[in-house]
Structure 1
């Protein structure tokens, strides 16, 4: 059985009970973004719900923090999203709270910028109570606005170049508004968002790290590396890199202040970052050629602006990512004046898009990687983070796809890259 199919009926029961508490009834419940044969737990279970009668402002309580009332004429379709606490590598301490608070701040900023409200309104939500409340009844959830459109990642390569660049210009304005969201004075550290007992937005634990929030950007990065090492310890193949001597050198690098040294030129700015801003999380209407929604603030955080470029934007050539290796010098310098030689037709198109993206966020007044002093130190650390616990070498379902010889070879190759990284950056045995 599909790992995500187990519990399907129980989730439907929870949905009906949740709707009932708001006196709502469904006529149809449709899973969204459901991959039939996915071998991994979904991060979220998402359902489009058609209602028998519209949800109106009086349907939901008005005093729940970070929510918005439905329009006066009501809505007949909503989205219910259940955060899955069984998903691998996620911190559920305040994951739902971070999601709704981040969407709320982003939505406010987008509205202030005079842009279409592409971030869905959240009508109601509940925090994760699992495992204290066992089973699906303990899952956190949100009820939010349904936004029409299709995933832009499925459409982007098919668009005429002019339409693709136009979409990039739209996204640049949305991205800039999110980056310029006003961070509450009650949020003073690096991490994520949560809500206190009075519903005030405060700093919280990041959805992808244990602990926090953190006092400095360097502390956040130390937590990132230590999280990767902890995950590597749980890998039957990597075993925490204890075999072969790499682990001792990694620990020495961290203890000796290597992270702080790498980031010594980086400023202490903090902004709201989406955390997974890829075209898969953008909806697009082909008929109007407009972006209709930016979704999935599940991994949002308040952190350095450069972090947005580490986790997303690679599919438009704007991310600091191995898939954009050809464009890295341009991203880091902000100079797209000369097109690299020897590009394929596909790469030429991506270069044109990347150039348009950089120009668009410049015009919109966003912070770019080329605006960050010391960005090379951040790039250096992301290289190490990626090496410490590669998904294909740590996830047991992925490991089953490889023979023992292949697994050993991949492990040895990765360990050699770690040791080379340590040699390059001044840590000797």
Structure 2
């Protein structure tokens, strides 16, 4: 059974209550990105809502912070997205507020850059009130502009190389605009965004980490690593790495300011708006016009170091600092794509061409590239440690059931050796 099927009808009932708040009626409600037989809780439940009558500016008479009015002629379709508080590993403290604030800043920066409005306008929203308000009525939600187009990740492999590179150049301009978004003076920390009682955007807790916001990038990274250790504590396989003295060494590294020392060569004062999950899966594309029509899903966005965007996304175009781009990492980190590697498969050669085009395009757009970041290898090292402390495949119950005891033990031993080697390299206390 699809774990997300539970509550399906209740969510539709909650959706109708949302519409009723604005005297709107639906003629059709269509789930978006609803995958059957998914063993994991969805992060969000998303619906396209076709309306009986257009929603016009007067529909949203009380305009909320970070929202926009629909056009005067109104809209006959919109999107309601309900944040799932049961999704694994997500912090709902100000998750919706972060989402709408990040979209607001991105939309404004893209507009200022003279680019098409690809970030959907938000018409209304409500914060998460679950579990204080039980059930689906307590879910946070947004009501947004419906954007046409199809998922780019499904179309990208079949595009000609010229068309793929053209898409990359379009994305680079949007990327640069998001990266250069003006951060409000009221946001002075690392983490995410929220909206205070006056409607001002301020620093908030990250969607993927409890606590914060954080006063420094090192403090932020220390919290990330401690959170991973807490997850490892809950794993019956990893047992918090307490066997063999590994945990003791990690705790000593963190307590002695080890993260600060790793980041000594990094400009840790730099902060930008990051999307947090910028992949082809979160882009819509019109194959007729060959244009990107939307950038979606700012659920994991935040205000942090520019390197973090490359750690969490862009891997599917060869632009992310990710194990899936392992062959291209030296070029990505140096900015030197002058020589193609030998022995690449046809798919790898195409990805190399796309990665080369991406690196050039973001440089031309004025964005910060990995090769522009002094000490980028040090930030990459912290990401490597994070990924080793509690790998999803060794902590998630569903994933563990797919492995034999021998496979689990082998993988655990590999991670332990990787952690110890990491500490030998970077723990200089």
- Per-residue CA deviation, residues 71-121 of structure 1 (Å, 9 max, x unaligned), is 111111100000001000011000000000000000000000000000000
Say if 2:156 is the partner of 1:117. no
Secondary structure in 1 aligned to 2:409?
helix
What is residue 10 of structure 2 aligned with on the other side? Answer: 10
Say if 2:265 is the partner of 1:265. yes
- Find the aligned partners of 1:400 and 1:244 in 2 and give their Cα distance: 25
- Find the aligned partners of 2:122 and 2:107 in 1 and give their Cα distance: 10
Q: How does 1:177-192 map to 2 (within 5 A)?
A: 177-192=177-192
- Find the aligned partners of 2:397 and 2:261 in 1 and give their Cα distance: 35
- Find the aligned partners of 1:392 and 1:28 in 2 and give their Cα distance: 39
The alpha-carbon deviation at position 244 of structure 1 amounts to: 2.4
CA contact (8 A) 1:263 1:378 kept: yes
The alpha-carbon deviation at position 2 of structure 1 amounts to: 1.2
Secondary structure in 2 aligned to 1:244?
helix
What is residue 54 of structure 1 aligned with on the other side? Answer: 54
What is residue 411 of structure 2 aligned with on the other side? Answer: 410
Query: Structure 2-normalised TM-score?
Result: 0.98
Query: Structure 1-normalised TM-score?
Result: 0.98
What is residue 161 of structure 2 aligned with on the other side? Answer: 161
CA contact (8 A) 1:277 1:312 kept: yes
The alpha-carbon deviation at position 142 of structure 1 amounts to: 0.1
What is residue 318 of structure 1 aligned with on the other side? Answer: 319
Q: How does 1:25-424 map to 2 (within 5 A)?
A: 25-267=25-267, 268-424=269-425
- Per-residue CA deviation, residues 44-85 of structure 1 (Å, 9 max, x unaligned), is 000011111111101113431000000111111100000001
- Find the aligned partners of 1:75 and 1:250 in 2 and give their Cα distance: 54
- Find the aligned partners of 2:271 and 2:340 in 1 and give their Cα distance: 33
The alpha-carbon deviation at position 140 of structure 1 amounts to: 0.1
- Find the aligned partners of 1:360 and 1:116 in 2 and give their Cα distance: 18
- Find the aligned partners of 1:237 and 1:168 in 2 and give their Cα distance: 42
- Find the aligned partners of 2:262 and 2:284 in 1 and give their Cα distance: 37
- Find the aligned partners of 1:288 and 1:66 in 2 and give their Cα distance: 30
Secondary structure in 1 aligned to 2:177?
helix
The alpha-carbon deviation at position 335 of structure 1 amounts to: 0.9
Secondary structure in 2 aligned to 1:4?
helix
CA contact (8 A) 1:399 1:407 kept: yes
The alpha-carbon deviation at position 406 of structure 1 amounts to: 1.8
- Find the aligned partners of 1:68 and 1:145 in 2 and give their Cα distance: 10
- Find the aligned partners of 2:302 and 2:106 in 1 and give their Cα distance: 12
Tell which deviates more after alignment, 289-298 or 404-413. Answer: 404-413
CA contact (8 A) 2:63 2:69 kept: no
CA contact (8 A) 1:62 1:69 kept: no
Secondary structure in 2 aligned to 1:402?
coil
- Find the aligned partners of 1:168 and 1:248 in 2 and give their Cα distance: 45
CA contact (8 A) 2:262 2:426 kept: no
CA contact (8 A) 2:277 2:298 kept: yes
Tell which deviates more after alignment, 337-346 or 364-373. Answer: 337-346
The alpha-carbon deviation at position 279 of structure 1 amounts to: 0.4
CA contact (8 A) 1:249 1:427 kept: no
The alpha-carbon deviation at position 427 of structure 1 amounts to: 5.9
- Find the aligned partners of 1:405 and 1:265 in 2 and give their Cα distance: 41
Secondary structure in 1 aligned to 2:194?
strand
Secondary structure in 2 aligned to 1:76?
strand
Secondary structure in 1 aligned to 2:166?
helix
**Runs of at least 4 residues off by over 4 Å:** none
- The answer for unaligned runs of 5 or more in structure 1 is none
Secondary structure in 1 aligned to 2:3?
coil
CA contact (8 A) 1:206 1:301 kept: yes
- Find the aligned partners of 1:243 and 1:3 in 2 and give their Cα distance: 34
- Find the aligned partners of 1:63 and 1:153 in 2 and give their Cα distance: 34
The alpha-carbon deviation at position 421 of structure 1 amounts to: 1.4
- Per-residue CA deviation, residues 395-421 of structure 1 (Å, 9 max, x unaligned), is 111111112222222212211211121
